[in-house]
Amino acid sequence: MRQQLWLHNLYSKSLQKSGLFYGFPPPHKLQKLYVKNIAEQHRHMASQLKLVTNQRKINCLIVLTGQRDADVQTIRNVSLLVGEGKLFVTGKDVLVRQCCEKASLSNEHHVYDIKQQSEELYSSALLVLRGGDLLHPQALAMFSSKMPILTAESVTYCDVDSMDKSGKRHLAEFYPDWNPDLQLSTGYVKTGIVIEGEQIIRRLLCFAQQHNQTSMMALWMSELYLSKSSVEVNHIEYCLVHQTLAPVMQWTRELVKLSHHPINISIGGSTQNAKISWKHASTPLVSLIIPTKNAKLLVQTCIDSIVSKTTYAHYEILLIDNNSDDPEALEYFESLQKSQSNIRVLRYPYLFNYSAINNFAVKHAKGEIIGLINNDVEVISPNWLGDMVGHTQREDIGCVGAKLLYPDTRIQHAGVVMGFGGGAGHAHKYFPRYHSGYLHRLVATNNFSAVTAACLLVKKSDYELVNGLNENDLTVAFNDIDFCLKILTLGRRNLYCAEAELFHHESVSRGTDDTLEKRQRFENELCYLQNTWADIIDSDSAYNSNLTLRFENFSIRE
């Protein structure tokens, strides 16, 4: 199935180094797109700020880096914008002392040591920056306009970019809305954060005195999630902070400081991200459901790879035979039941309906966790199931999907973004296997609105709560997307597990939608998805409206 795989791997690695992977614009074109985007952001901000009648007071805390010129530049920039707010600094004692003395001698805006806290500090919102960061002139007004009025405690963060010595802005980082698993994996929210509420500010300042390095805010945002805080986290899709220093953060080493939580932390798929494994007391039974019609070789490859490579042992396989008529396939299916005690073959003697087949199988499943598995996948990483089960067991996680590769090792699936093509599409599709992706989201486990059911795990209880897959309106396409979005309504978050890797020989057994009847069915199912989930298609919280929906490559929107 994968002739000359070594050659494909070499090709993929060469693509990664060259940057010429599928459809991604070169740096000069990206910069042109961003210049256009900056102008668009400016117009939108000006329009929104016309409606602001009363700007709220915001104090500022700067985490010093030890790079004196950069720290001083940030202090001077903020002092011109902070208005009635006070300016605080934190960091190593000697840096704080030097900084405060210099500001006092030069008659600049007064700078306070965070250890000299006053009650005034808790009565207003607090913006946290790192030394070397510069504020957009309208940053405080935008933060003020976006902070929730009715919420006592909140955290609000913004997108960021970089600024060179000539003042040119570039390398925009367009973040998703609050994405706890991306935070744990990469520490993506690390500066430009406004905190409001006395108790949460006190918690932050206590944390800052224990962790006074520049990674402090990335750690604190991770701690916020791990401690199960109910504080509201908001996101502003504007680049309100400009970084003049390249962030230097060995995230795995930093995150280990939070290892008192029930997690194991190790190096992830790149030097910039961590792998998080969750500690659980139980190893639940997983029911892996594999529908098929004939396709002996595909099924054999799939099941052999599961049986021979999977390290997580507590699973059963339910092979659902949908009207197979190939004698060799039928003979093989029968032999499976006789040779493997944890494999059952169930007959589904009706017309093909992917949703109905899986709903039928779930009723016969014995496991606490359901695994929807295509017959054309093939295991690569031995720990795939254990990694996915560990996430599925988390109470706030719904569907867990895997990294799926085409036979030539390019990316087939790494999470689903709503809005592509007016419906949904696969993030980073066709990227090389070894590429880290946008914001490291290809190699980092993180949250997406949906994942594909070619390899999807979910608690059986959640499956039943949303009445499974929609077998009336979505018989073939988009049933997995619809299912994931229904799971979101339970208050769960869906997850792409970057460490679970499998090949996906996509739709080899079923074929393509190349007849008039199939095309009409596809159009009907797309219309159902668009009508049912219009709000999420219009604005996917796991994506960013500054990014394109024309391609699946995270380029800036044209």
Q: Return the closest-CA partner of residue 394 out of 497, 253, 485.
A: 497
Q: What's the alpha-carbon Rg for the chain, to the nearest Å? A: 26
pTM: 0.93
CA distance 509 to 506: 8
Rounded to a whole number, what is the distance in angstroms from the first to the last CA of the chain? 38
Q: What pLDDT, on a 0 to 100 scale, did the predictor assign at position 513?
A: 58
In degrees to the nearest 10, what's the CA dihedral of 409, 413, 415, 421?
A: 130
Q: How many CB atoms lie within 10 A of CB 197?
A: 19
Per DSSP, the residues of 483-534 read HHHHHHTTT-EEEEEEEEEEEE-TTTTT----SHHHHHHHHHHHHHHHHHSH
Per DSSP, the residues of 441-458 read TTTS-EE-SB--TTEEEE
CA distance 182 to 184: 5
Q: Kindly list the structural domains of the chain, giving each domain's residue range(s) and its CATH number in brackets, ordered by start.
A: 52-261 (3.90.550.10), 286-538 (3.90.550.10)
214 pLDDT above the threshold of 90? no
Residue 441 in contact with residue 415, Cβ under 8 Å? yes
365 pLDDT above the threshold of 80? yes
Q: Average pLDDT in the 286-310 region? A: 97
Q: Average pLDDT in the 187-202 region? A: 95
Q: Average pLDDT in the 218-238 region? A: 96
100 pLDDT above the threshold of 80? no
User: How does pLDDT run across 513-555, given as a tens digit for each residue?
Assistant: 568 888 899 999 999 999 999 999 999 999 999 999 999 999 9
Query: Residue 179 half-sphere exposure, CB side, CA atoms within 13 Å?
Result: 27
Instruction: Compute CA distances 41 → 48, 159, 162, 241, 398, whole Å.
Output: 11, 12, 16, 13, 34
Q: How many CB atoms lie within 10 A of CB 550?
A: 11
Q: What pLDDT, on a 0 to 100 scale, did the predictor assign at position 18?
A: 45
98 pLDDT above the threshold of 90? no
3-state secondary structure (DSSP) of residue 34: helix
Q: What pLDDT, on a 0 to 100 scale, did the predictor assign at position 11?
A: 47
CA distance 429 to 24: 11
